[in-house]
Chain A
């Protein structure tokens, strides 16, 4: 009977939305509960624009950018870049063998699972926690020790993400060359070198560059806990309320980060797509693995 009724109508009936309604109500309840019980007084929210306006004024407008502080800000940023660079190399060097062993088609199911779990565990600890919890207590801070703790934290954390991505790329290779290398009597190491690596290296090198971009942001943060780089300068400026200096530091971080993202993004596109690839638009900041799972489909469909 209801089918007859809908048949007469011009439009088909909307599909039932019970699930959607429940989800929406649950979400609203969750947000309301969070907002009402969190420890923030209303008058602090009301004073928010004033506070933000004042700090913005003192950072950038009061005296203009503090150019006399530029050399020191730049030196901090360069230290952050060096930390990110060396840290990325540590991560790359250690993640390559782990990624190979973590791929199901290279090692067996049990070994690859075990390695993947280790990589997941490493990935789950943010760099800053690694620095605070592990490397600063071990290495100490002050002098070169600070940069050193930061470099190790970034290097170790990078193993997790880079190893996972490497394993995923290796699992997607064409088995032909591997079989050919084996049939020609190649030893296991030779099979990896001539059958696997040539297929995956462009993508893996692109990941390394991408990780370098992420690690620049991470190393800028690490100074806040005393692990070297530009974050240290920013933290000092904030503690002594030298907002003019903080403003200069922020300008240097933003400009340097955008510049390096641009250069690195262009290089990555060239590595992946070969010469003649054009830069279309800015690059992605989040994990490529996620984009590959969700957004990537859309991207390849449009191309």
Chain B
């Protein structure tokens, strides 16, 4: 033992630990996938030289955004208001539906394995499709306008809120649940008096958060014909009216910013 210590030497560094084979496999897989995805033959043909060439061309197009054509602004008030209303209606329906759905997606409140798994499965499927693709399908099903937009947002909201809230329910303090059990409460009473009061502040916070997301999302839903300010984006981009486009963009920015400020203030007050 003393021999091995002395052979290490006083100034010698300890040997570097060997890389795990998993690290090497991961790096190899990353390189292969990247080459495959970016290559001309199998992938999207991504080329850095082309990016640089295009960016120099892009400057002249971006210059057309300025100055913004402010005379276009009054035409956007109505659609912007519609975007806001869509977000309000979709939030209230989506968050309302998400409440019971989240209780069904947690083992704490839903001991029945079949119901729990079915609910989780449905939620996973709902969340796999993005809101704009729902809007695309709903526009085909029920026609253009705010209605398909609201429906798409509702599904999107159920996915987000149910995910966040069911995880909150998973983590509640079991004390009050035991107390209602001990007092002879049934499952509904347990949820109402032991679980709901614990998760209510989070639920309100998630709902406000989802409302913010809705404002952003509903601003672009109109691109597929689902109502709101996105309709204007679509029209303007077809006619290459970039000076009008910059007015719409600035308006969306300001609007989203104001909604966020209000939402943050409300969250502080209520939660």
CB within 8 Å of B: which residues of A?
Answer: 19, 23, 27, 30-31, 33-35, 37-40, 44-45, 47-48, 51-52, 54-55, 79, 81-83, 85-86, 89, 124-126, 128-129, 132-134, 137-139, 144, 147-148, 151-152, 217-218, 220-221, 224-225, 228, 231, 234-235, 238, 241, 243, 246, 250, 253-254, 257-258, 261, 281-282, 284-286, 290-291, 294-295, 298-299, 301-302
Contacts and interface: CB of A to CB of B under 8 A. Distances in A.
Given A33-B85, A35-B89, A286-B160, 4 more contacts: A48-B147, A137-B61, A221-B133, A235-B136
A299 B171 contact: yes
Nearest to A89: B34
Query: Majority SS of interface residues in chain B?
Result: helix
Q: 3 shortest A-B CB distances, which residue pairs?
A: A302-B171, A298-B171, A138-B58
A38 B133 contact: no
11 contacts: A35-B89, A40-B150, A47-B142, A79-B44, A124-B256, A129-B249, A221-B133, A234-B133, A258-B124, A284-B163, A294-B206
Contacts of A284: 163-164, 167
Contacts of B145: 39-40, 44
A31 B89 contact: yes
A86 B38 contact: yes
A285 B163 contact: yes
Contacts of A85: 33-34, 37
B46 interface: yes
Interface string B224-252: 10010000010001001010010001000
Given A35-B89, A45-B147, A286-B164, A138 B129 contact: no
Contacts of B110: none
A286 B163 contact: yes
Given A234-B136, A299-B167, A302-B171, A217 B249 contact: no
B54 interface: yes
B85 A37 contact: yes
Interface of B: 33-34, 36-38, 40, 43-46, 50-51, 54-55, 57-58, 61-62, 82, 84-86, 88-89, 92, 120, 124-125, 127-130, 132-133, 136-143, 145-147, 150, 159-160, 163-164, 167-168, 170-172, 202, 205-206, 209, 216-217, 219-220, 223-224, 227, 233, 237, 240, 242, 245, 249, 253, 256, 269-270
A91 B240 CA distance: 28
B141 A51 contact: yes
A34 B130 contact: no
A81 B36 CA distance: 11
A198 B133 CA distance: 40
Query: Majority SS of interface residues in chain A?
Result: helix
A54 B140 CA distance: 11
A45 B150 CA distance: 12
A129 B220 contact: yes
Contact of B249 (A37, A133, A243, A291): A133
Contacts of A224: 132-133, 136, 223-224
A254 B125 contact: yes
Contacts of B164: 284, 286, 291, 294-295
Nearest to A257: B128
Given A82-B43, A126-B220, A258-B124, A285 B146 contact: no
Contacts of B92: 27, 31
A43 B234 CA distance: 27
A157 to B, nearest CB: 12
A134 B245 CA distance: 11
Nearest to B40: A144
Contact of B128 (A82, A235, A254): A254
